[in-house]
Amino acid sequence: MENKLRTSTLNPAFVIALKEPIRQSLLKDLRGSNAYEHVQELLEKGLISRHKDKNGRSFNIKTTPKFAEYFKLKGDVRALVKTLNIDKGVKDDEEDMRQATPPDAKGVKDE
C-alpha cells in the first residue's frame, strides 16, 4: 500500500479488528468523535468495510482481507490478539458500556 496510515488511525483500526463487527456508534463512544475521520481513512484505503445495521441507524464495521495484508497478519485478524498479547475474550457492546459505569457501592460501609 502506497500511503501509510496516520498514527492516530492505528488505535481505532485495532479496536475494529478486535471487536469486529463493531457498530460505528460504539467506536465513536470508545474512541471519540475523531473516529468518523479515522473510519473514512480506513475505508478509502480499503482496510475496512461498512454496512448499515439491521435498524438502519448505524453502520457495522469490519476488516477486509487487505487489513490483514497491510499489517502482515498471518491467517485472519485474530492473530492480532496474539500479536498484541491481549485476552481473547472480546466483550459485546452492552458489556463495554457496563464497564464504563462506576461499580455499585453496595455493601461498602463508611467508617
Q: How far apart are CA 48 and CA 70, in angstroms?
A: 11
pLDDT of residue 108: 44
Q: Over 19-35, what HEC string results?
A: HCCEEHHHHHHHHCCCH
pLDDT of residue 49: 96
pLDDT of residue 33: 86
For the chain, helix, strand, coil in percent to 5 are 45, 10, 45
pLDDT digits (tens, 9 = 90+) for 10-42: 889 989 988 889 999 999 999 888 899 999 999
pLDDT of residue 53: 82
Position with higher pLDDT, 71 vs 52: 52
pLDDT of residue 44: 94
pLDDT of residue 97: 44
15: nearest Cα among 93, 107, 103: 93
| CA 98 to chain centroid | 17
Q: How far apart are CA 16 and CA 13, in angstroms?
A: 5
pLDDT of residue 77: 60
pLDDT of residue 79: 63
pLDDT digits (tens, 9 = 90+) for 56-101: 888 999 999 899 888 887 765 666 666 665 544 444 444 544 444 3
13: nearest Cα among 61, 59, 53: 61
